[in-house]
Amino acid sequence: MGNGRVAVIGVGFYGFRPSTPEVSFQGMMFESSHRAYAEADVDPRKDIDVFVDCQEDMWEGIAITDEFAPEPIGGALRPTFTVSGDGLLGVAHAYMLIRSGLANVVAVESHGKPSEIKTLQDIYYFAMDPLHIRPLSTGNPFFIAGLDAQAYMSRTGARREHLAMVAVKNRNNGLRNDRAPYSSRISLDEVLSSPYAVYPMTRYEMAGFSDASVTVVLASEDVAKKFTDKVVWLDGVGYSTEVGSGSIEWHQWGRMPSMRNAALMAYKLAGLSDPQKDVSFAEVEDRFSFMELLSAEELMLSPEGEAHKMLEAGEFDFDGRLPLNPSGGSLAMGVSLEATGLARFLEAVLQLRGEAGAHQLKEARRAVVASWRGVPTYTSAVAVLSSDVEG
């Protein structure tokens, strides 16, 4: 392998609002990348070796959306490519590019502008298998998450109160975060007394959508030090796909093996042997309330089937032993389509640098970041980040 450790030397973002009519998606990409490069003190035209952009055609409304990738992020006439997937998958490519020795500095951008999609529900349907699932016309495409939530509850004994508690925790955590338009001072009663959106979840337990672009700059260890002292280490990445969207019948309902596999890969690279003990906080998947608990379990941050008990005991709270989504997660920040994973990543980097502002944790030395691409996919990605700074 060419290079040693991989460092995060800059992050930048734009948006995290329900709509952003003031900018085009390209404008948003430019703003976030410009900020990340300024922070990393790199000139994208000279210092960045490879640009990775994460986006998907139907989210953008452009058939070969890759066309629009290079220009706004400084990658025109340079090695630039697109990953059709969550931003964390782009981070995995960056990690491999640096470890292979091909690149020293890689930029990863991802964005989502869901406010411009007027038929979002139909676009979700278009991701379903055309032969097996689309003809069923099931109404809300998130029914698949409902099936998983039900299976999860029956396997672990978690009750719907536990799911609601996740929404209460995250929407309240978000109140301290400027990037969290869906945060709210909501109580458990309010969640439980509102009608089901997709059984067993109410609308408070399903994340809204927000427009955002996030850019991160990664570098090899030697080169990172030339640019900045503010280094956060990317100790490991992992990603995995359990089943195809054309074969979701084979999915292990109530489980997320893709996240477990991704975690095993990332932990192995990071040399993380006891995640429950060695992780100070985690930014994990929570676009549906039950997913936070299931993620905690698949990431081995809780014993098998006991995430809801740890939640009940307050261990995942902002001031708990192992805070989950201190930023408020997607439930407070919204789902920014393929930028959702990078939103989690951004929050973890800021925490590890001690720059999270009002939602800064006291102890932030090692973080796990995890995302899932949402229905109807079974792909997850995980990153392990750490900081040398005494938290």
Partner 1 sequence: MSAKEGARLPGTKLSAKEMYSLLGLVESSPQAKYEFSAGPTISRFLQGLKEGKILGRRCPRCGRIYVPPRDYCEYCHVALTDWVEVPDTGTVQTAVVSYISVRRERLEKPEVVGVIKLDVPGYKEGSYEFAGLFHRLCIDPEEAKKDSTIGMKVKARWKPAEQRTGSILDIECFEPVR
Partner 2 sequence: MVSNLFVKDRVAIVGAGITTFMRRALETPRELAWEAARQALDQAGLTLRDIDCVVIGSAPDTFDGVHMKGEYLADGSGALNKPMTRVYVGGGTGVFVPVSAWWHAASGLCRTVLAVAEEKMSPAHPHPQYVFRYIWDPIIHRPLEPNLIWIFAMEMRRYMAKCGAKKEDIALVSVKNKRNALDNPAAQVAANITVDDVLKSELLVWPVNELDISPVTDGAAALVITNENTARQVTDSPVWIDGIGFTLDNQHWENRELAFPRYLNYAARMAYRMAGIERPWKEIDVAEPYDPFDYKELHHIEGLMLARPCEAWKLLKEGYFERDGELPTSPSGGLLGVGNPIAAAGLMKVAELFWQLRYEAGKRQVKKPVHKAVANAWGDLMQAGTVIVLSN
Q: Is 141 in the site for partner 1 (CB under 8 A)?
A: no
Which of 69, 300 has the CB closer to partner 2?
Answer: 69
CB of 34 to partner 1, least distance (A): 7
CB of 181 to partner 1, least distance (A): 18
Q: Is 136 in the site for partner 1 (CB under 8 A)?
A: no
Q: Is 112 in the site for partner 1 (CB under 8 A)?
A: no
Which of the ranges 109-117, 214-222, 223-231, 265-273 carries the binding residues for partner 1, by CB under 8 A? 109-117
Name the amino acid, one letter, at 132.
Answer: H
- Residue 339 binding target from partner 2, partner 1, none, CB below 5 to 8 Å by type: none
The footprint of partner 1 on residues 39-78 (CB under 8 A) is 43-45, 58, 61, 70-72, 74, 76
Contact 341, 258 (CB under 8 A): no
Cis peptide bond prior to 376, omega within 30° of 0: yes
Contact 229, 369 (CB under 8 A): no
- Residue 379 binding target from partner 2, partner 1, none, CB below 5 to 8 Å by type: partner 2
Considering CB under 8 A, how many residues would be counted as binding partner 1?
Answer: 34
Neighbours of 195 (CB within 10 A): 6
For 215, the enclosing helix (H) or strand (E) is: strand 211-220
- Residue 95 binding target from partner 1, partner 2, none, CB below 5 to 8 Å by type: partner 2
Neighbours of 346 (CB within 10 A): 28
Q: Give me the phi and psi of 131, to 5 degrees please.
A: -95, -40
Cis peptide bond prior to 200, omega within 30° of 0: yes
User: Hunting for tokens 């509102």 — which residue is that?
Assistant: 194
CB of 371 to partner 1, least distance (A): 24
Residue 265's nearest CA partner among 370, 341, 337 is 370
- Residue 240 binding target from partner 2, partner 1, none, CB below 5 to 8 Å by type: partner 2
Contact 258, 379 (CB under 8 A): yes
Contact 383, 349 (CB under 8 A): no
Which of 169, 251 has the CB closer to partner 2?
Answer: 251
Contact 9, 231 (CB under 8 A): yes
Between CA 194 and CA 210 the distance in angstroms is 23
Between CA 197 and CA 139 the distance in angstroms is 11
- Residue 87 binding target from partner 1, partner 2, none, CB below 5 to 8 Å by type: none
Which of 30, 316 has the CB closer to partner 1?
Answer: 30
CB of 49 to partner 2, least distance (A): 5
CB of 377 to partner 2, least distance (A): 4
CB of 120 to partner 1, least distance (A): 10
CB of 102 to partner 2, least distance (A): 6
For 387, the enclosing helix (H) or strand (E) is: strand 379-387
Between CA 44 and CA 50 the distance in angstroms is 10
Q: Is 142 in the site for partner 1 (CB under 8 A)?
A: no
Which of 22, 319 has the CB closer to partner 1?
Answer: 22
- Residue 343 binding target from partner 2, partner 1, none, CB below 5 to 8 Å by type: none
Q: Which long-range contacts (CB under 8 A, 24 or more apart) does 247-250 make?
A: 247/129, 248/129, 248/133, 248/144, 248/376, 248/378, 249/132
CB of 103 to partner 2, least distance (A): 6
The residues that touch partner 1, with contacts defined as CB under 8 A, are 20-27, 30, 33-34, 37, 43-45, 58, 61, 70-72, 74, 76, 113, 116-119, 122-123, 126, 130-131, 134-135
